[in-house]
A and B are shown apart, each in its own frame.
Chain A
Amino acid sequence: MTDATASVDRPSPLREFWFYFRENRGAVFGLWIFGIFAFLALFGPWIAPHDATTQFRDATLQPPFWQEGGNWTFPLGTDPLGRDMLSRLIVGARFSFFVGVVVVSIAASGGILMGLMAGFSPKWVDTIIMRIMDVILAFPSLLLALVLVAILGPSLTNAMIAIAIVLQPHYVRLTRASVLSELQKDYVTSARVAGAALPRLMFITVLPNCLAPIIVQAALSFSTAILDAAALGFLGMGAQPPTPEWGTMLAEAREFILRAWWVVTFPGLAILVTVLAINLMGDGLRDALDPKLKRS
């Protein structure tokens, strides 16, 4: 890092990024929420006041503390089986976080590899890869994920695999488009002339210059992955009870919606806040990383 007196130097990329990212107050706010979410995901079971699956049979459907009949033992009330809502929400953070991380890693690494292949290969390979991606994109994503899970069997792992497959074409298209535009540039030609081998050309010369839109896409698909996994959980095709996954919690609580609003409201609110925070961050990332879209 350079200090202020040496400001003639170009600031480090990280510092430049932070400069632009900080300008977007929503993004910084989103980053804070995301930080809390990540913290809960990592340390949830040690923070939660109760065990997430313990059933307090004499305290079923207890309302939150501010309502009549609620108390501080269960600050956000209990569910129909007498499990503490707050603890389940805190422990549930790790499932959503895990889904986001795993799905984005699989979808992005697979998608980037295929995008690079499509961009560097002869025309016929490119055509085949892109047609396959068109086929995947022709299906509504949630439907395809649902059918894939039906084939693989309902579980959180299979839901993650299905969502990753469904999200991956976006990375392929994005990477391929950037690769094709980078390949026109002089620095690639000079690297080629200098005798760079294909892997070096792909991963060291070209790829780093294609990363900006991919990072933005990663943030967006992180939130999509959380939403889709929750939706699959809600339909009974994701994490299975008694896992305190937020979508699964909603599904279990459905029949009690008119009697106990809190069992439905809080898990959904948790999903909304998390997804909102990630989308805010995504907007900030886009502002900071994509010079064309800056200050829109």
Chain B
Amino acid sequence: MLNYVIGRLLTFVPTFVGVTLISFGFIRVLPGDPIIVMAGERGLTDERYAELEAQFGFDRPIYEQFWEYLTGVLQGDLGNSFVTKRPVWDEFFALFPATLELSVCAMIFAVLLGLPAGVIAAVNRGKFYDRALMSTALIGYSMPIFWWALLLIIVFSGNLQWTPVSGRIDLIYYFPDPTGFMLIDSLRSGQSGAFTSAVRHLVLPTIVLGTIPLAVIARQTRSAMLEVLGEDYIRTARAKGLTSGRINGIHALRNALIPVITVIGLSVGTLLAGAILTETIFSWPGIGKWMVDSIFRRDYPVVQGGLLLIAVAVMIVNLTVDMLYGVINPKIRKR
């Protein structure tokens, strides 16, 4: 097991350096001079240009610049935003809880519906429920989620007026946010109606972001269950006279969960990509919207730093999933 963990950690290092290299290279392959871009339309004198060039280290050899960038990254220094002048690192971690809250809710939504759907489909293989559920899952899987979001807004916010269109909470509520998670903070604030407002804001983005993972989990659970249901120990359980609920729910599902957990872990990248669209549409103040806004504002340090931090977050999650996979599935460890 230890060897497995160490081996897996060792592959993390070159990937991390590569990811850093890409985000470092990003600002240097942009058309145009970053300093001119930063100066905006005011223009620059030659002295000021040279000064800035020295300040950002653009006058030194490229490998020295990369080394400095890499050591800066490892110390949490990603530069400052052109627009707000605040450190990119601080901005990222101020907005991250919003994205995390949304992603966790979306994942819970996807798992709570996807697992039962997959089990029901597998148990009723080839029958009506299987076909209905799997057709729905395929539609969910093919869904352009930005359109799905607009449709839900038309129906639930426009026609039925059940949910708000954007933001995390109604503006009439104001309270400190020590955790950054609106659900927890609104509950702690003790203001009546604040929590309900937070939930109502969260519902549509959760559904939109959770749709594709939901479809993937349902499909994966079904095929994993089908594989397991053909195993000998299921036949034994059946011969012992166990109820089908016990067989499907305990004996089969537990073993079918191994590939499903992998899929759930790998969906984190999909969630972050989905968050870009979902957050933009619902004006959800998280990482995705921040990245899109920064791209449009040409706020390059933010784009560069955000890209790196998101990639590292995805890598850490994937690494954790791999480790967990080793814990759950002993076959992997021995390789």
Contact = CB atoms under 8 A, between A and B. Distances in A.
Interface stretch (A62-70, A182-190, A270-278): A270-278
A47 interface: no
Interface in B224-282: 226, 269-270, 272-274, 276-277, 280
Interface stretch (A79-87, A141-149, A171-179, A198-206): A141-149
B143 A143 contact: no
B19 A135 contact: yes
Given A254-B150, A272-B147, A150 B270 contact: no
A147 B303 contact: yes
Interface in B1-29: 11, 14-15, 18-19, 21-22, 26, 29
Interface residues of A, number: 43
Please classify the interface of chain B as helix (H, G, I), strand (E, B), loop, or mixed, using the class held by over half of its residues.
helix
B39 interface: no
A279 B142 contact: yes
A273 B274 CA distance: 20
A172 B144 CA distance: 26
Nearest to A280: B138
Contacts of A141: 269, 273
B139 A140 contact: no
B150 A272 contact: no
B158 A139 contact: no
B203 interface: no
A67 B14 CA distance: 60
Contact of B144 (A131, A140, A272, A280): A272
Contacts of A230: 144, 146
A272 B273 contact: no
Given A139-B311, A142-B277, A257-B153, A268 B18 contact: no
A265 interface: yes
B324 interface: no
Interface in B135-162: 138-139, 141-144, 146-148, 150-151, 153-154, 158
B310 to A, nearest CB: 6
A12 B141 CA distance: 34
Interface of A: 131-132, 134-135, 138-144, 146-147, 150-151, 153, 223, 227, 230-231, 234-237, 247, 250, 254, 257-258, 261, 264-265, 267-269, 271-272, 275-276, 279-280, 283, 296
8 contacts: A134-B14, A143-B310, A234-B146, A235-B277, A264-B150, A264-B154, A268-B151, A272-B144
Interface of B: 11, 14-15, 18-19, 21-22, 26, 29-31, 138-139, 141-144, 146-148, 150-151, 153-154, 158, 223, 226, 269-270, 272-274, 276-277, 280, 291-292, 295-296, 303, 307, 310-311, 314-315, 318
